[in-house]
Amino acid sequence: MTIDTVFTELSSMLGDRLSRSKSDLSHHGGSETHFAPAPPDAVAWPETTDEVSRILHLCHAASVPVIPYGAGTSLEGHTSAPMGGLCIDMSRMNRVVSADPGDMIAVVQPGVTREELNHELRALGVFFPVDPGANASIGGMAATRASGTTTVRYGSMRDNVLGLTVVLADGRIIKTGSRAAKSASGYDLTALFLGSEGTLGIMTELTLRLHGVPEQISAGICAFPDMASAVGAVQQVIQMGIPMARIEFVDADTARAFNGYAGTDMPECPHLLVEFHGSPTAVAEASEAFGEIATDFGATGYEHATRTEDRNALWKIRHHAYYAVLSLRPGAKAVVTDICVPISKLAEAITETQADIAASGLMGPILGHVGDGNFHAALLIEDGNEPEKAAAKDLAARMSTRALAMGGTITGEHGIGMGKLGLMGAEHGPAWSVMGDIKTALDPKGILNPGKLVPQG
């Protein structure tokens, strides 16, 4: 069977839900960041698990590459099609199949976005907590083992997905996990597929763990004289076990960018943003304890609020950080990268990264989920300026090397895709080849999202 026969068969199966139009190919082969376009040969929009199974059965027979596609918010080139093939766009499988606040469980299709899901859950008094910032699809978040601002309290996708329906490379359909809160029954296939970036199978249904909407939410922000003081405060509140729902760091450059972007006049120095969830008593107690520690570390102007509109106002800098940072250099693109280190190494990792960025001459504000030891640099480059792009990628690679030397990881939440493939050997050593062995066992023809994550032929 040739690739054209496959597309002909798919076309008769899917009708206008198979496209080979230039604009569809170009849209699905693009990237939010700096990756060169790498379009697929066709795009399919399946509507059921059974359709995904039939599509994979055909592609497997003809060895056609298959690239799953969610909301396209990936930062490491996960959805590029460097070997062509079929992009499977999951956006039509976007239903909340069921939501059960009694068991704190929702069953969803992968194409539903985080915001759509929480919109549907609102009336039930429950929510899905993982928040990577972008309005990503739940399937994409699962495929990259996403985390984000609330991970310090609620965990990442690893902690909030109980089970999956997965279509394997050859079209077989399996189910992993269950609706029980835990299990000791066999290999943890759910965890294996989470973070596998579409290289082991395509998720078509996810069983998610929900959480009760907190009785009260309190948010706060304060300014620090320097980065070391802010990070010192983070280390202290983590060690004290003060229950935080979010704790975010933005550096002085981000504050400056925000002032320019939003016309505000916040102090152009490092800030911490925090949020507390719980009973009014617990929230007040935690907020007060945080304020005391922050003050001990030299923080000033600790403002906090419980009303939604006031909280949103305090957190505005975080929500608009990406576009504010881009506005520092009009027309620029960003090489956005992330690393994660043990909390005791956080100040050292940020200091060395800031020095490295300064020496490069590029602009690169730093911000992140510091409660997890996870931070981002948004390295601004002129669109089309190849030397700048190379310099930014070198900086990002040095950040990863630094994270490894400190006992950390090359990515806390963005994943590997094509962007960090070259660093996998350094992080995992011979364990990387074990990942390759698992890939070969599950996808012997290598059709699933080729060119990503595992050692390449």
Identify residues 139-198 at the interface with a second copy (CB under 8 A): 144-147, 151, 155-156, 158-159, 168, 172-176, 178-189, 191-192, 194-196
What is the rounded CA–CA span in Å between residue 341 and residue 353?
13
Residue 103 touching a second copy (CB under 8 A) = yes
Q: Are 18 and 11 in contact (CB under 8 A)?
A: yes
Smallest distance, Å, CB 394 to a second copy? 19
> Within a 10 A sphere around the Cβ of 453, how many other Cβ atoms?
26
- Contact with a second copy (CB under 8 A) among 415, 446, 450, 451: 415
CB 243 within 8 Å of CB 281: no
Site for a second copy (CB under 8 A): which residue of 15, 16, 441, 457? 441
Closest CB to a second copy among 7 and 193? 193
Q: Is 282 one of the binding residues for a second copy (CB under 8 A)?
A: yes
Task: Mark 238-257 with x for binding to a second copy (rule: CB under 8 A) and - for no binding.
Answer: xxxx-x--------------
Interaction of residue 8 with a second copy, rule CB under 8 A: no
Helix (H) or strand (E) holding 200: none
Residue of 1, 122, 429, 456 interacting with a second copy (CB under 8 A): 429
Which residue number, 302 or 432, has a Cβ lying nearer to a second copy?
432
Please pick, from the candidates 21, 50, 212, 264, the single residue that binds a second copy as defined by CB under 8 A: 212
| Exposure class string for 290-325: b at 16+ Cβ within 10 A, else e | bbebbeebbbeebebbeeeeebeebbbbbebbbebb
Single out the residue of 313, 183, 279, 296 nearest to residue 236, CA to CA: 296
CB 46 within 8 A of CB 111: no
Binding a second copy (rule: CB under 8 A), the pick from 235, 287, 354, 449 is: 235
Query: Between 9 and 48, how does the x/- string for binding to a second copy read (CB under 8 A)?
Result: ----------------------------------------
Q: Burial of 243 by CB count in 10 Å (0-12 exposed, 13-18 middle, 19+ buried)?
A: middle
Q: Among residues 260 and 342, whose Cβ is nearest to a second copy?
A: 342
Provide the terminal-to-terminal Cα distance of the chain, rounded to the nearest Å.
Answer: 23
Q: Where do runs of H (alpha helix) occur along 161-246?
A: 189-193, 227-239
Please give the Cα distance from 149 to 374 (Å, whole number): 10
Q: Which is nearer to a second copy, 383 or 437 (CB)?
A: 437
Given 115, 385, 437, 456, the residue binding a second copy (CB under 8 A): 437
Whose Cβ is closer to a second copy: residue 25's or residue 350's? 350
Site for a second copy (CB under 8 A): which residue of 344, 355, 358, 456? 344
Q: Interaction with a second copy in 284-343: which residues (CB under 8 A)?
A: 285, 340-343
For a second copy (CB under 8 A), the number of binding residues is: 89
For the segment 355-414, give every residue that binds a second copy (CB under 8 A).
Answer: 372-374, 403, 407-414
Q: Is the dihedral of CA 345, 347, 353, 359 positive or negative?
A: negative
User: CA-to-CA distance for 273 and 290, rounded, in angstroms?
Assistant: 11
Contact assessment for residue 439 and residue 451, using Cβ atoms and an 8 Å cutoff: no
